Chain A
Amino acid sequence: MTQQFYVSPEQLMKDRADFARKGIARGRSVVVISCRDGIALVAENASPSLHKIGEIYDKIAFAAVGKYNEFESLRQAGVRYADVRGYSYDREDVTARGLASVYAQSLGAVFTAEQKPFEVELAVAEVGQSQEADHLYRLTFDGSIADEHGFIVMGGQADKVSEAVAAGWQGELDFAGAIRLALAGLVADKETTTLPVSALEVAVLDRGSESGRGTRRAFRRLEDPDIVALLAEEK
Protein backbone atom coordinates (compact mmCIF):
# COMPACT_ATOMS: atom_id res chain seq x y z
CA MET A 1 0.00 0.00 0.00
CA THR A 2 1.35 3.39 -0.93
CA GLN A 3 0.58 6.32 1.28
CA GLN A 4 0.45 9.97 0.22
CA PHE A 5 2.88 12.28 1.98
CA TYR A 6 1.29 15.34 3.52
CA VAL A 7 2.16 18.57 1.68
CA SER A 8 0.91 21.84 3.12
CA PRO A 9 -1.26 23.95 0.82
CA GLU A 10 1.24 26.81 1.05
CA GLN A 11 4.04 24.58 -0.16
CA LEU A 12 1.86 23.10 -2.91
CA MET A 13 0.93 26.52 -4.30
CA LYS A 14 4.49 27.76 -4.02
CA ASP A 15 5.81 24.75 -5.94
CA ARG A 16 3.26 25.23 -8.66
CA ALA A 17 4.01 28.94 -8.96
CA ASP A 18 7.76 28.33 -9.13
CA PHE A 19 7.22 25.70 -11.79
CA ALA A 20 5.11 28.07 -13.92
CA ARG A 21 7.49 31.02 -13.45
CA LYS A 22 10.45 28.94 -14.59
CA GLY A 23 8.64 27.89 -17.76
CA ILE A 24 7.64 31.47 -18.59
CA ALA A 25 11.11 32.94 -18.00
CA ARG A 26 12.67 30.42 -20.42
CA GLY A 27 10.99 32.03 -23.45
CA ARG A 28 11.55 35.33 -25.22
CA SER A 29 9.82 38.57 -24.27
CA VAL A 30 6.71 40.23 -25.67
CA VAL A 31 6.12 44.00 -25.41
CA VAL A 32 2.72 45.70 -25.69
CA ILE A 33 2.78 49.50 -25.88
CA SER A 34 -0.12 51.94 -25.93
CA CYS A 35 0.71 55.02 -28.02
CA ARG A 36 -0.89 57.91 -29.92
CA ASP A 37 -1.70 55.86 -33.05
CA GLY A 38 -3.07 52.89 -31.11
CA ILE A 39 -1.47 49.86 -29.50
CA ALA A 40 1.71 48.21 -30.81
CA LEU A 41 2.39 44.54 -30.01
CA VAL A 42 5.95 43.37 -30.57
CA ALA A 43 7.30 39.87 -29.91
CA GLU A 44 10.63 38.25 -30.46
CA ASN A 45 9.57 35.23 -32.48
CA ALA A 46 11.64 33.46 -35.12
CA SER A 47 8.67 31.52 -36.53
CA PRO A 48 6.65 33.34 -39.21
CA SER A 49 3.60 31.10 -38.70
CA LEU A 50 3.43 30.10 -35.02
CA HIS A 51 2.16 33.40 -33.68
CA LYS A 52 2.42 34.82 -30.16
CA ILE A 53 0.18 37.74 -31.08
CA GLY A 54 -3.34 37.36 -32.39
CA GLU A 55 -6.59 39.12 -33.22
CA ILE A 56 -9.49 38.43 -30.87
CA TYR A 57 -12.12 40.93 -32.00
CA ASP A 58 -12.67 44.31 -33.63
CA LYS A 59 -10.67 46.33 -31.10
CA ILE A 60 -9.09 43.54 -29.05
CA ALA A 61 -5.76 41.76 -29.46
CA PHE A 62 -4.01 39.01 -27.57
CA ALA A 63 -0.33 38.48 -26.80
CA ALA A 64 1.23 35.62 -24.88
CA VAL A 65 4.45 34.07 -23.71
CA GLY A 66 5.13 30.55 -22.48
CA LYS A 67 4.09 27.19 -23.87
CA TYR A 68 2.65 27.46 -27.38
CA ASN A 69 0.02 24.74 -27.09
CA GLU A 70 -1.33 26.21 -23.85
CA PHE A 71 -1.64 29.84 -24.95
CA GLU A 72 -2.87 28.82 -28.41
CA SER A 73 -5.77 26.94 -26.84
CA LEU A 74 -6.51 30.02 -24.70
CA ARG A 75 -6.36 32.27 -27.79
CA GLN A 76 -8.82 30.06 -29.67
CA ALA A 77 -11.12 29.94 -26.65
CA GLY A 78 -10.95 33.75 -26.54
CA VAL A 79 -11.89 34.07 -30.21
CA ARG A 80 -14.83 31.70 -29.66
CA TYR A 81 -15.96 33.57 -26.55
CA ALA A 82 -15.79 36.94 -28.33
CA ASP A 83 -17.51 35.75 -31.51
CA VAL A 84 -20.36 34.05 -29.63
CA ARG A 85 -20.85 37.11 -27.46
CA GLY A 86 -20.76 39.51 -30.40
CA TYR A 87 -23.15 37.31 -32.36
CA SER A 88 -25.68 36.92 -29.57
CA TYR A 89 -25.59 40.53 -28.29
CA ASP A 90 -23.89 43.10 -30.47
CA ARG A 91 -20.37 43.70 -31.71
CA GLU A 92 -19.86 46.65 -29.37
CA ASP A 93 -20.75 44.51 -26.34
CA VAL A 94 -17.50 42.56 -26.62
CA THR A 95 -15.00 44.15 -24.25
CA ALA A 96 -11.46 43.37 -23.16
CA ARG A 97 -12.60 43.48 -19.53
CA GLY A 98 -15.10 40.67 -20.07
CA LEU A 99 -12.57 38.59 -21.97
CA ALA A 100 -9.82 39.18 -19.39
CA SER A 101 -12.08 38.12 -16.57
CA VAL A 102 -12.95 34.87 -18.40
CA TYR A 103 -9.24 34.24 -18.92
CA ALA A 104 -8.55 34.96 -15.26
CA GLN A 105 -11.16 32.45 -14.19
CA SER A 106 -9.92 29.70 -16.49
CA LEU A 107 -6.28 30.27 -15.53
CA GLY A 108 -7.25 30.27 -11.86
CA ALA A 109 -9.21 27.04 -12.23
CA VAL A 110 -6.34 25.32 -14.04
CA PHE A 111 -3.83 26.54 -11.44
CA THR A 112 -5.70 24.99 -8.51
CA ALA A 113 -7.47 22.00 -10.03
CA GLU A 114 -5.29 20.55 -12.77
CA GLN A 115 -2.20 18.34 -12.59
CA LYS A 116 0.04 21.25 -13.57
CA PRO A 117 -0.58 24.97 -14.01
CA PHE A 118 -0.43 26.64 -17.43
CA GLU A 119 3.06 27.99 -18.06
CA VAL A 120 1.78 31.13 -19.77
CA GLU A 121 1.38 34.85 -19.24
CA LEU A 122 -1.16 36.76 -21.32
CA ALA A 123 -1.87 40.33 -22.30
CA VAL A 124 -5.31 41.42 -23.51
CA ALA A 125 -5.27 44.84 -25.20
CA GLU A 126 -8.22 46.95 -26.30
CA VAL A 127 -7.78 50.10 -28.35
CA GLY A 128 -10.17 52.96 -27.60
CA GLN A 129 -11.19 56.21 -29.30
CA SER A 130 -8.55 58.07 -27.32
CA GLN A 131 -5.46 56.95 -25.48
CA GLU A 132 -7.22 57.29 -22.12
CA ALA A 133 -9.77 54.73 -23.30
CA ASP A 134 -7.12 52.09 -24.10
CA HIS A 135 -7.15 49.03 -21.85
CA LEU A 136 -4.22 46.75 -21.15
CA TYR A 137 -4.74 43.70 -18.94
CA ARG A 138 -2.00 41.39 -17.76
CA LEU A 139 -2.98 37.85 -16.77
CA THR A 140 -0.61 35.53 -14.99
CA PHE A 141 -0.54 31.73 -14.66
CA ASP A 142 -2.44 31.71 -11.33
CA GLY A 143 -5.36 33.76 -12.63
CA SER A 144 -4.22 37.11 -11.23
CA ILE A 145 -5.35 40.02 -13.32
CA ALA A 146 -3.78 43.48 -13.44
CA ASP A 147 -4.95 46.60 -15.23
CA GLU A 148 -1.76 48.16 -16.61
CA HIS A 149 -1.12 51.68 -17.77
CA GLY A 150 1.03 52.50 -20.81
CA PHE A 151 2.79 49.24 -21.54
CA ILE A 152 3.19 45.57 -20.63
CA VAL A 153 6.34 43.48 -20.80
CA MET A 154 6.10 39.71 -20.32
CA GLY A 155 8.35 36.69 -20.48
CA GLY A 156 12.10 36.18 -20.72
CA GLN A 157 14.14 38.70 -18.73
CA ALA A 158 11.03 40.81 -18.20
CA ASP A 159 12.64 43.05 -15.53
CA LYS A 160 15.46 44.27 -17.76
CA VAL A 161 13.23 44.73 -20.80
CA SER A 162 10.63 46.51 -18.71
CA GLU A 163 13.24 48.95 -17.34
CA ALA A 164 14.37 49.88 -20.85
CA VAL A 165 10.80 50.39 -22.10
CA ALA A 166 9.80 52.42 -19.03
CA ALA A 167 12.74 54.75 -19.61
CA GLY A 168 11.58 55.64 -23.11
CA TRP A 169 7.78 55.44 -22.85
CA GLN A 170 5.65 58.51 -23.46
CA GLY A 171 2.08 58.86 -24.64
CA GLU A 172 3.00 60.90 -27.71
CA LEU A 173 4.79 58.05 -29.53
CA ASP A 174 3.56 57.05 -32.98
CA PHE A 175 3.68 53.42 -34.20
CA ALA A 176 7.23 53.74 -35.55
CA GLY A 177 8.40 55.21 -32.25
CA ALA A 178 6.60 52.57 -30.19
CA ILE A 179 8.06 49.72 -32.25
CA ARG A 180 11.55 51.27 -32.00
CA LEU A 181 11.10 51.50 -28.23
CA ALA A 182 9.95 47.89 -28.05
CA LEU A 183 13.04 46.83 -30.02
CA ALA A 184 15.28 48.79 -27.68
CA GLY A 185 13.61 46.92 -24.84
CA LEU A 186 13.92 43.50 -26.45
CA VAL A 187 17.71 43.85 -26.91
CA ALA A 188 18.20 45.08 -23.33
CA ASP A 189 18.92 41.56 -22.09
CA LYS A 190 21.21 40.71 -25.00
CA GLU A 191 24.70 41.61 -26.13
CA THR A 192 23.62 42.78 -29.58
CA THR A 193 22.09 46.21 -30.16
CA THR A 194 19.67 45.23 -32.88
CA LEU A 195 17.41 42.34 -33.91
CA PRO A 196 16.87 41.17 -37.50
CA VAL A 197 13.36 41.89 -38.78
CA SER A 198 12.86 38.18 -39.46
CA ALA A 199 13.15 37.48 -35.72
CA LEU A 200 10.25 39.84 -34.95
CA GLU A 201 6.50 39.49 -34.90
CA VAL A 202 4.76 42.85 -34.98
CA ALA A 203 1.07 43.73 -35.05
CA VAL A 204 -0.86 46.91 -34.28
CA LEU A 205 -4.33 47.85 -33.10
CA ASP A 206 -4.98 50.89 -35.27
CA ARG A 207 -6.91 53.64 -33.46
CA GLY A 208 -8.02 55.18 -36.77
CA SER A 209 -8.94 51.95 -38.61
CA GLU A 210 -12.47 53.14 -39.37
CA SER A 211 -11.46 56.50 -40.82
CA GLY A 212 -8.17 55.36 -42.34
CA ARG A 213 -8.87 51.92 -43.75
CA GLY A 214 -12.65 51.80 -43.63
CA THR A 215 -12.81 48.71 -41.43
CA ARG A 216 -13.94 48.23 -37.84
CA ARG A 217 -11.26 45.57 -37.39
CA ALA A 218 -8.38 47.49 -35.86
CA PHE A 219 -5.92 44.57 -35.79
CA ARG A 220 -3.26 44.54 -38.48
CA ARG A 221 -0.28 42.21 -38.69
CA LEU A 222 2.81 43.92 -40.11
CA GLU A 223 4.81 41.86 -42.61
CA ASP A 224 8.60 42.14 -42.72
CA PRO A 225 8.68 44.80 -45.52
CA ASP A 226 6.10 46.89 -43.57
CA ILE A 227 8.29 46.80 -40.47
CA VAL A 228 11.42 47.78 -42.44
CA ALA A 229 9.51 50.66 -44.06
CA LEU A 230 8.09 51.83 -40.72
CA LEU A 231 11.46 51.73 -38.96
CA ALA A 232 13.12 53.59 -41.84
CA GLU A 233 10.78 56.57 -41.32
CA GLU A 234 12.23 59.79 -39.95
CA LYS A 235 12.41 59.94 -36.21
Chain B
Amino acid sequence: MQETTANRVAANATSSFTEHLQRERPDLMPFGQVPFNQLAAAGHTGQPGAPLQVPHGTTIVAMTYAGGVLMAGDRRATMGNVIASRHIEKVFPADQYSVLGIAGTAGIALDITRLFQVELEHYEKIEGTLLSLDGKANRLGAMVRGNLPMAMQGLAVVPLFAGFDRPAGFGRLFSYDVTGGRYEEQEHHAVGSGSMFARGALKKLWRPGLSEQDAVAVAVEALYDAADDDSATGGPDPVRQLWPVVYIVNRTGAFRVPDRDLAAVAGRVIESRAVAQREA
Protein backbone atom coordinates (compact mmCIF):
# COMPACT_ATOMS: atom_id res chain seq x y z
CA MET B 1 0.00 0.00 0.00
CA GLN B 2 2.75 2.37 1.08
CA GLU B 3 4.77 1.52 -1.99
CA THR B 4 1.97 2.07 -4.48
CA THR B 5 1.26 5.52 -3.00
CA ALA B 6 4.94 6.43 -3.30
CA ASN B 7 5.02 5.15 -6.85
CA ARG B 8 1.96 7.16 -7.75
CA VAL B 9 3.43 10.37 -6.36
CA ALA B 10 6.69 9.78 -8.24
CA ALA B 11 4.84 9.01 -11.46
CA ASN B 12 2.82 12.21 -11.18
CA ALA B 13 5.82 14.42 -10.42
CA THR B 14 6.66 16.08 -13.70
CA SER B 15 8.49 19.30 -14.44
CA SER B 16 7.20 19.29 -18.00
CA PHE B 17 4.25 21.49 -18.88
CA THR B 18 3.64 19.48 -22.06
CA GLU B 19 3.35 16.24 -20.09
CA HIS B 20 0.97 17.89 -17.65
CA LEU B 21 -1.15 19.25 -20.50
CA GLN B 22 -1.23 15.89 -22.25
CA ARG B 23 -2.43 14.26 -19.05
CA GLU B 24 -4.92 16.86 -17.81
CA ARG B 25 -5.99 18.96 -20.80
CA PRO B 26 -5.18 17.12 -24.04
CA ASP B 27 -7.67 19.37 -25.85
CA LEU B 28 -5.26 22.29 -25.44
CA MET B 29 -2.33 20.62 -27.21
CA PRO B 30 -1.49 22.26 -30.55
CA PHE B 31 -1.06 18.85 -32.19
CA GLY B 32 -2.17 15.28 -31.81
CA GLN B 33 -5.85 16.02 -31.02
CA VAL B 34 -7.25 14.95 -34.35
CA PRO B 35 -6.48 11.30 -35.12
CA PHE B 36 -4.91 10.69 -38.48
CA ASN B 37 -7.89 8.91 -40.06
CA GLN B 38 -10.41 11.51 -38.84
CA LEU B 39 -8.45 14.29 -40.48
CA ALA B 40 -8.61 12.36 -43.73
CA ALA B 41 -12.33 11.68 -43.27
CA ALA B 42 -12.98 15.39 -42.72
CA GLY B 43 -12.36 15.98 -46.38
CA HIS B 44 -8.65 16.61 -46.44
CA THR B 45 -7.08 13.53 -47.95
CA GLY B 46 -3.44 14.54 -47.85
CA GLN B 47 -3.20 14.06 -51.61
CA PRO B 48 -0.63 16.32 -53.27
CA GLY B 49 -3.37 17.66 -55.54
CA ALA B 50 -5.42 19.20 -52.71
CA PRO B 51 -3.16 21.06 -50.28
CA LEU B 52 -4.95 22.77 -47.41
CA GLN B 53 -4.88 26.54 -47.91
CA VAL B 54 -3.34 27.96 -44.73
CA PRO B 55 -0.70 30.63 -44.14
CA HIS B 56 2.91 29.45 -44.30
CA GLY B 57 5.88 31.21 -42.80
CA THR B 58 9.06 31.25 -44.76
CA THR B 59 12.73 32.09 -44.32
CA ILE B 60 14.73 32.08 -41.08
CA VAL B 61 18.50 32.51 -40.88
CA ALA B 62 20.78 32.03 -37.88
CA MET B 63 24.51 32.31 -37.34
CA THR B 64 27.12 32.38 -34.62
CA TYR B 65 29.17 35.51 -34.05
CA ALA B 66 31.95 36.49 -31.68
CA GLY B 67 29.71 36.97 -28.62
CA GLY B 68 26.95 34.41 -29.18
CA VAL B 69 24.30 33.66 -31.78
CA LEU B 70 21.91 35.68 -33.92
CA MET B 71 18.61 34.73 -35.55
CA ALA B 72 16.61 36.67 -38.11
CA GLY B 73 13.36 36.09 -39.99
CA ASP B 74 11.55 37.90 -42.79
CA ARG B 75 8.01 39.24 -42.25
CA ARG B 76 5.98 37.42 -44.89
CA ALA B 77 3.41 34.63 -44.64
CA THR B 78 1.98 33.19 -47.85
CA MET B 79 -1.10 31.16 -48.70
CA GLY B 80 -0.54 29.63 -52.11
CA ASN B 81 0.24 32.54 -54.40
CA VAL B 82 -1.33 35.11 -52.05
CA ILE B 83 0.54 37.07 -49.40
CA ALA B 84 -1.31 36.21 -46.19
CA SER B 85 0.59 38.64 -43.97
CA ARG B 86 3.31 41.25 -44.36
CA HIS B 87 3.68 41.77 -40.62
CA ILE B 88 4.02 38.28 -39.22
CA GLU B 89 6.85 37.70 -36.75
CA LYS B 90 8.53 34.32 -36.89
CA VAL B 91 11.45 34.69 -34.49
CA PHE B 92 10.71 34.61 -30.75
CA PRO B 93 12.60 34.55 -27.50
CA ALA B 94 12.14 31.05 -26.01
CA ASP B 95 13.51 32.11 -22.62
CA GLN B 96 16.20 34.38 -21.27
CA TYR B 97 19.08 32.68 -23.13
CA SER B 98 17.55 31.14 -26.24
CA VAL B 99 15.46 32.03 -29.29
CA LEU B 100 13.56 30.04 -31.88
CA GLY B 101 12.44 30.76 -35.40
CA ILE B 102 9.75 28.85 -37.21
CA ALA B 103 9.07 27.99 -40.83
CA GLY B 104 6.04 26.07 -42.05
CA THR B 105 2.34 26.19 -41.17
CA ALA B 106 2.03 29.47 -39.28
CA GLY B 107 -0.93 28.61 -37.04
CA ILE B 108 0.57 25.41 -35.64
CA ALA B 109 4.03 26.95 -35.48
CA LEU B 110 2.82 29.88 -33.37
CA ASP B 111 1.09 27.49 -30.96
CA ILE B 112 4.17 25.27 -30.70
CA THR B 113 6.24 28.38 -29.97
CA ARG B 114 3.84 29.40 -27.21
CA LEU B 115 3.85 25.89 -25.76
CA PHE B 116 7.65 25.78 -25.89
CA GLN B 117 7.93 29.14 -24.11
CA VAL B 118 5.61 27.99 -21.33
CA GLU B 119 7.44 24.63 -21.17
CA LEU B 120 10.78 26.33 -20.43
CA GLU B 121 9.33 28.82 -17.96
CA HIS B 122 7.36 26.06 -16.22
CA TYR B 123 10.47 23.93 -15.75
CA GLU B 124 12.33 26.92 -14.39
CA LYS B 125 9.59 27.68 -11.85
CA ILE B 126 9.07 24.08 -10.71
CA GLU B 127 12.76 23.13 -10.52
CA GLY B 128 14.23 26.50 -9.58
CA THR B 129 16.95 26.21 -12.25
CA LEU B 130 17.16 26.72 -16.00
CA LEU B 131 17.01 23.72 -18.31
CA SER B 132 20.34 22.98 -20.05
CA LEU B 133 20.60 24.13 -23.68
CA ASP B 134 20.67 20.50 -24.88
CA GLY B 135 17.62 19.80 -22.72
CA LYS B 136 15.75 22.69 -24.35
CA ALA B 137 16.78 21.53 -27.84
CA ASN B 138 15.55 17.98 -27.07
CA ARG B 139 12.18 19.23 -25.76
CA LEU B 140 11.64 21.21 -28.95
CA GLY B 141 12.52 18.11 -30.98
CA ALA B 142 9.89 16.12 -29.09
CA MET B 143 7.26 18.77 -29.93
CA VAL B 144 8.14 18.70 -33.63
CA ARG B 145 7.90 14.90 -33.47
CA GLY B 146 4.48 15.22 -31.87
CA ASN B 147 3.34 17.18 -34.89
CA LEU B 148 4.36 14.42 -37.33
CA PRO B 149 0.78 13.24 -38.09
CA MET B 150 -0.13 16.81 -39.07
CA ALA B 151 3.10 17.15 -41.05
CA MET B 152 2.07 14.11 -43.09
CA GLN B 153 -1.14 15.98 -43.95
CA GLY B 154 0.95 18.83 -45.29
CA LEU B 155 0.93 20.94 -42.12
CA ALA B 156 4.61 20.71 -41.29
CA VAL B 157 6.49 22.94 -38.84
CA VAL B 158 10.27 23.22 -39.04
CA PRO B 159 11.93 25.30 -36.33
CA LEU B 160 15.44 26.61 -35.94
CA PHE B 161 16.71 26.92 -32.37
CA ALA B 162 19.62 28.97 -31.07
CA GLY B 163 20.87 29.68 -27.60
CA PHE B 164 23.80 30.64 -25.46
CA ASP B 165 25.34 27.66 -23.67
CA ARG B 166 26.25 29.32 -20.39
CA PRO B 167 28.48 26.58 -18.93
CA ALA B 168 30.37 26.23 -22.24
CA GLY B 169 30.44 29.99 -22.85
CA PHE B 170 29.44 30.11 -26.54
CA GLY B 171 26.36 30.18 -28.74
CA ARG B 172 24.94 27.05 -30.44
CA LEU B 173 22.50 26.37 -33.28
CA PHE B 174 20.09 23.49 -33.77
CA SER B 175 18.01 22.55 -36.81
CA TYR B 176 15.20 19.98 -37.00
CA ASP B 177 13.48 17.81 -39.55
CA VAL B 178 9.72 17.07 -39.54
CA THR B 179 10.26 13.82 -37.62
CA GLY B 180 11.84 15.72 -34.73
CA GLY B 181 15.41 14.84 -35.64
CA ARG B 182 17.75 17.32 -33.99
CA TYR B 183 20.95 18.38 -35.70
CA GLU B 184 23.50 20.72 -34.25
CA GLU B 185 24.69 23.17 -36.91
CA GLN B 186 28.07 24.86 -37.11
CA GLU B 187 28.65 28.49 -38.09
CA HIS B 188 25.29 29.26 -39.75
CA HIS B 189 22.07 27.76 -41.04
CA ALA B 190 18.76 28.70 -42.70
CA VAL B 191 15.31 27.09 -42.97
CA GLY B 192 12.18 27.79 -45.00
CA SER B 193 11.39 28.24 -48.67
CA GLY B 194 14.06 30.90 -49.25
CA SER B 195 16.71 29.03 -47.29
CA MET B 196 18.61 27.83 -50.37
CA PHE B 197 19.29 31.40 -51.44
CA ALA B 198 19.91 32.62 -47.92
CA ARG B 199 22.39 29.82 -47.31
CA GLY B 200 24.22 30.71 -50.52
CA ALA B 201 24.51 34.29 -49.35
CA LEU B 202 25.62 33.23 -45.86
CA LYS B 203 28.41 31.10 -47.32
CA LYS B 204 29.87 34.18 -49.00
CA LEU B 205 29.15 36.76 -46.29
CA TRP B 206 29.74 34.90 -43.02
CA ARG B 207 33.24 34.71 -41.55
CA PRO B 208 34.50 33.55 -38.15
CA GLY B 209 34.49 36.06 -35.32
CA LEU B 210 31.97 38.50 -36.81
CA SER B 211 31.16 41.47 -34.59
CA GLU B 212 27.56 41.89 -33.46
CA GLN B 213 26.93 44.78 -35.89
CA ASP B 214 28.47 42.91 -38.82
CA ALA B 215 26.43 39.80 -37.99
CA VAL B 216 23.19 41.84 -38.09
CA ALA B 217 24.22 43.24 -41.50
CA VAL B 218 25.03 39.74 -42.81
CA ALA B 219 21.63 38.41 -41.62
CA VAL B 220 19.70 41.26 -43.25
CA GLU B 221 21.62 40.86 -46.51
CA ALA B 222 21.09 37.07 -46.54
CA LEU B 223 17.34 37.65 -46.11
CA TYR B 224 17.48 40.27 -48.87
CA ASP B 225 19.00 37.69 -51.21
CA ALA B 226 16.37 35.13 -50.20
CA ALA B 227 13.58 37.63 -50.90
CA ASP B 228 15.19 38.49 -54.23
CA ASP B 229 14.76 34.95 -55.56
CA ASP B 230 11.96 33.43 -53.47
CA SER B 231 8.50 34.93 -53.92
CA ALA B 232 7.39 33.62 -50.51
CA THR B 233 10.06 35.60 -48.63
CA GLY B 234 9.52 39.28 -47.97
CA GLY B 235 12.36 41.77 -48.31
CA PRO B 236 12.84 44.97 -46.29
CA ASP B 237 9.84 47.26 -46.96
CA PRO B 238 10.78 50.97 -46.80
CA VAL B 239 7.24 51.96 -47.85
CA ARG B 240 5.57 50.37 -44.82
CA GLN B 241 8.72 50.66 -42.69
CA LEU B 242 8.85 46.89 -42.13
CA TRP B 243 12.17 45.28 -41.33
CA PRO B 244 13.16 41.70 -40.51
CA VAL B 245 12.88 40.53 -36.90
CA VAL B 246 16.40 40.04 -35.53
CA TYR B 247 17.34 38.64 -32.11
CA ILE B 248 20.82 38.39 -30.68
CA VAL B 249 21.68 36.04 -27.81
CA ASN B 250 24.83 36.51 -25.81
CA ARG B 251 26.13 35.94 -22.29
CA THR B 252 23.74 38.55 -20.86
CA GLY B 253 20.57 37.25 -22.53
CA ALA B 254 18.39 37.46 -25.64
CA PHE B 255 17.58 40.90 -27.08
CA ARG B 256 15.63 42.13 -30.06
CA VAL B 257 17.53 44.47 -32.37
CA PRO B 258 15.56 47.76 -32.49
CA ASP B 259 13.79 48.73 -35.71
CA ARG B 260 15.74 51.95 -36.22
CA ASP B 261 19.03 49.97 -36.34
CA LEU B 262 17.50 47.54 -38.82
CA ALA B 263 16.18 50.39 -40.95
CA ALA B 264 19.73 51.76 -41.21
CA VAL B 265 21.23 48.35 -42.01
CA ALA B 266 18.54 47.53 -44.60
CA GLY B 267 18.99 51.02 -46.09
CA ARG B 268 22.71 50.38 -46.57
CA VAL B 269 22.07 47.00 -48.24
CA ILE B 270 19.56 48.53 -50.68
CA GLU B 271 21.86 51.47 -51.35
CA SER B 272 24.91 49.30 -52.07
CA ARG B 273 22.91 47.20 -54.52
CA ALA B 274 21.47 50.29 -56.23
CA VAL B 275 24.90 51.89 -56.62
CA ALA B 276 26.36 48.75 -58.15
CA GLN B 277 23.58 48.83 -60.79
CA ARG B 278 23.95 45.12 -61.43
CA GLU B 279 21.39 42.49 -62.22
CA ALA B 280 22.16 40.40 -59.11
Contact = CB atoms under 8 A, between A and B. Distances in A.
B25 interface: yes
A76 B28 contact: no
Interface string A79-101: 11001101110000000000000
**Which label, helix, strand, loop or mixed, suits the secondary structure of the B interface?**
helix
B21 A49 contact: no
A198 B118 CA distance: 32
Contacts of A56: 125
A220 interface: no
A134 interface: no
A83 B128 contact: no
B264 to A, nearest CB: 22
A55 interface: yes
A21 interface: no
B25 A83 contact: no
A217 B227 CA distance: 36
Contacts of A55: 125
Interface residues of A, number: 15
B128 A51 contact: yes
A185 interface: no
Nearest to B13: A76
Contacts of B24: 84
Interface string B107-132: 00000001100100110011010000
B126 A79 contact: yes
B128 A87 contact: no
A76 B115 contact: no
A84 B20 contact: yes
A79 B122 contact: yes
A150 to B, nearest CB: 27
Nearest to B20: A80
A108 interface: no
Contact of B128 (A49, A84, A86, A217): A49
B125 A87 contact: no
B118 A86 contact: yes
A220 to B, nearest CB: 12
B24 to A, nearest CB: 7
Given A87-B21, A87-B114, A79 B125 contact: yes
A177 interface: no
Interface in A54-96: 54-56, 76, 79-80, 83-84, 86-88
B17 interface: yes
Interface in A77-131: 79-80, 83-84, 86-88
B28 A87 contact: yes
Contact of B28 (A49, A88, A215): A88
A76 B123 CA distance: 11
A49 B25 CA distance: 31
In this complex, the member of A54, A76, A88 whose beta carbon has the largest number of chain B beta carbons within 10 angstroms is A76
- List the 6 closest pairs (A to B, CB-CB), nearest first: A79-B125, A83-B122, A87-B118, A55-B125, A88-B28, A83-B118
Given A55-B125, A84-B28, A88-B28, 4 more contacts: A80-B20, A84-B24, A86-B118, A87-B115
